[in-house]
Amino acid sequence: MNSGEKLFARLLNRAPTAAIDLPDPLGSPPFGLHLHLDANGGVLQMAGPLRHLLAQQSPHDQPLPLHRYVQPHSTLAIEGRPVEWLGQSLDLDFPGHGDQTLHLRGWVQPLGTGWLMQLMDIADLLLERQQSRSRDTCQALAAQISEQLRACSLTRLPVIVGEQLQAIAQRWHIPCLALTLLDEQAQGWQIHRQFRAHDAPTLWHDGQQLGTTLDSLNGTGPQHVSTHHGLDPHSRVQAMFGNVEGFAVPYSDDRGVVAWLLCGFYPVDASESNLSDRDWMGLCSALAGPLLARLRELQHHQQLERMESLQTLLGTGWWEIVGDDVHLAPSLVIALQLDAPRPSLDQWLEQIHPADREELRSRLHALQQQSEALTLCVRLYSPDAWKNPLWYRLQGLAIGSGENRRLVGFMLDISDIKNQQQIADAAHARLDNLIASSPAVIYVQRYAEGALQPAFFSASLQPLLGWNLADCTATALVERVHPEDRELYFERTRHLLREGSVRARYRLRDSRGDYHWLLDEAKLLRDDLGLPVEAVGLWLDVTEATLVAEQVRQSEERYRILVEDSPAMICRYCPDLTLTFGNRPLAMYLECTPDELPGVNLGSWMSDEQRDAFVQRLNLLTPEQPVSTAEISLQLPGREHAWWVWSDRGVFDERGQLIEVQAVGRDNTEVRRSQQQLTQSAKMATLGEMATGLAHEINQPLNVMRMAIVNVLKRLSNGDVQIDYLQDKLNRIDAQVQRAARVVDHMRVFGRRSEIEQQPFNPADAIEGTLSLLNEGMRGKGVDLRISETGFTVQVRGYVDQLEQVLINLMVNARDALLSKREADSTFRPWISVYAERDKHSVRLWVEDNGGGIDPRLLERIFEPFFTTKPVGVGTGLGLSVSYGIVENMGGRLSVSNSVDGARFCIELPIVLDDEMPDDSVARELAPAGLRSGPEIDNANAEKS
């Protein structure tokens, strides 16, 4: 075996078969490093070209052990003595100059009394092995990345890409890693996903737009980014890397460079020299290739979905004739309601309206035979096609030639366009007919040499004025303008040329010699330089409107005179009661001038209750029932209350909203005062008729007090006086005094005038007051009062004393009738019944007796003034008439009928709906504890002495 074979064998860890002879001393070996060792492994001498690369090149005075020349991790390979190394392959790392390390492999053999160690450089062999391992690892990782990206779902695709970036970064210790894709829509680059170590600064973020920064790189291989700006021409790329070292790996396909793998804080030459450019590009290809394929697949599906949705929304789709069949898009199959997606040509033509079918058949034949392009609008056939026809636009053409010739096209739903076009055509026709028959003329005047010359008139000129265009020259027009309006016409032309638009009214003579009032509206059109081109205008015949306006003006003048001279009070006011107009009588009544009335609020002269009731009545006005009449009360300063009979008429807009009220009123104060005086007179007459009963009502407590005093005096004369007995008698006397005082107080309240305004009250109070005045008198005359109890309470609006007056009148009339009947029949037992009932809206008070009733012939006249059935000098005939007016003034109704036993009067009053009082109030009875049947009898004779 020669020396070369021995050296190759030792590189392959094979022991040599025989030792070689070496000179003594070592001399200058031609290669590697030769070490002369003693028996213990100490270095006696070094030789060879590699000796100059060692950090420690020569031994010291005393031989140093071999492990002092190698790096610490190599000492395990040279433990023991050289004799023990014989036949072994030794891999040793020697420190070199600087930070370099010499990777050497060698063996030992005897040399005299010592040993010779021959070493050679194996750095290239180790590098190649490391590169091979790194390449295998890179290819395995690339295959794994590609497989996972192809196998994952589209929803997990971004997550998987991030995980693969993390795997690459952790495998090669890359602080920042990002995958950049070409954004075709934004015409730039975008960070698709990025990964950074937990201790690395942030260079990029997901979705970051990089613009065209990467376009400056050539894309042929990994592009190194240096921190030395003067050495790198790509300054924008450096800014993208945060001015730190890194590199970018491109990925190219048939579209060019479409992706970059960016590595930040990573100088590739120093960190991972075992991977070649091809390895990095393969790794980038394994990541970007499947990702782009999946993304393009997703984009393709989305485009197909959008196309299908667009075709469905537009009612369009493709078609292709293949032999005798027609292939249709799914959207067309649904729109045409076909059973199969590939109908025959005849089945397809059956869906077309008969009016368009033959033309389409002919055009399709021309497309098949002569390749003539097809463009046609057809209607679909359906039973109600005449109501809402479905229009489609068909276009087709022949593409290719020979066996590859295809007939393709599309159908587009244009129903809306066609229907709108037909509607527009019909509207244009109606507009043309309307203009031709209407009192309006459209004209055009061209600007020439500083003047406007007539150039066009619509067809309505002939029926309106009896002219044509030839009759309407500029001179002829001026001559046909009314002499009084010619200066206005000239000013109209000057204003149009100066301002660009004009609106004027003047008279123009027609062909018969009659004048028409025309409303002339025109606008001047200018070119790009601002120079006049033409004027477009409209003549509108307003003759009738002008004459009517003059008549209205004259009518308004007559109306104004009529309103001002009317004795009635006339005004207009807003829904908030603010006056906008008032005539002179109203102003005189309010002691002001008509000019001072606008802006004054009508409610300022009313009480709060009157104003609320007034506004509520206005709110009930509707366009169907715009009129309301009521009597209102006003509190004029410095004067007594005024009463007006007021009638309102509402004025409404097109939405039915009240915008104004027109009112007419008359003073009803004197009539109202007369009614009050009549009511008061009737009330005093009633008191006079009740004098006997009231005297008995007062005498009863006086008798009780007299008997109590007699008993006390008797006890005093006998000397038998006890404090308890005296106190009991005094308490009895005090109770009777209070009873008499109540009767006198009620007589005083009943006898005074009623309040000015109505107030809410409980009708039970009126029943109680009536019984307090009539109870004793009725009992004294032998009339039984039957007062029924109720289980509810209500509120009505009016005057409690006047309702008492009505009840007293009814009960006194019933009493007189009953006493007259008892005079004829001594066995007759008279009674009067008073009871009440209610529903949701009203309360009814009933007064009934057993007197036999009223003659049916007199029922219609019983409420007439001065009508009475009593003897002359006994009755005035005003009681029932006044009672009827009182109830009617309270918004109610007084009626009479005959029952089985006698007459029955009904007082019906509306219930006041008070928000503070629940509608279902049933907590208290209508009549208080005092409304009970039977008299209060103080049996003085029962007292014991």
- Token output for 796: 């009505």
pTM over 0.75: no
Q: What are phi and psi of 410, to 5 degrees?
A: -145, 160
Stretch 289-294: mean pLDDT: 88
- Token output for 895: 């009626």
Tell me the pairing of strands 784-787 and 831-838.
Answer: parallel
Domains detected in the chain: 3-121 (3.30.450.20), 134-302 (3.30.450.40), 315-421 (3.30.450.20), 438-543 (3.30.450.20), 566-667 (3.30.450.20), 734-910 (3.30.565.10)
The pLDDT tens digits of the residues spanning 807-827 come to 888 888 888 888 888 888 888
Which residues lie across from 664 on neighbouring strands? 570, 647
Residue tagged 């040793």 (tokens): 92
Residue 615 CA to residue 576 CA, distance in Å, equals: 8
Tell me, what's the pLDDT at 676?
A: 62
Tell me, what's the pLDDT at 932?
A: 35
Stretch 630-644: mean pLDDT: 73
Sequence-separated (6 or more) residues with CB below 8 Å from residue 240? 210, 213, 214, 262
Tell me, what's the pLDDT at 27?
A: 62
Q: Among the listed ranges 48-62, 182-196, 395-409, which one has the minimum average pLDDT value?
A: 48-62
Q: Among the listed ranges 47-51, 204-208, 863-867, which one has the minimum average pLDDT value?
A: 863-867
Per-residue pLDDT band at 789 (split at 50, 70, 90): low
CA atoms within 13 A on the CB side of 235: 2
Sequence-separated (6 or more) residues with CB below 8 Å from residue 943? 707, 708, 711
Per-residue pLDDT band at 841 (split at 50, 70, 90): confident
For all residues of the chain together, what is the average pLDDT?
A: 78
The pLDDT tens digits of the residues spanning 903-925 come to 999 999 999 876 534 344 333 33
Tell me, what's the pLDDT at 342?
A: 84
CB atoms under 10 Å from CB of 319, counted, come to 18
The pLDDT tens digits of the residues spanning 363-412 come to 888 888 888 888 988 888 877 656 677 888 888 898 888 778 888 888 88
Nearest to 199 by CA among 164, 179, 160, 173: 173
Query: Buried b / exposed e across 178-204, counting CB within 10 Å, b at 16+?
Result: bbbbbeeeeeebbbbbbbbeeeeeebb
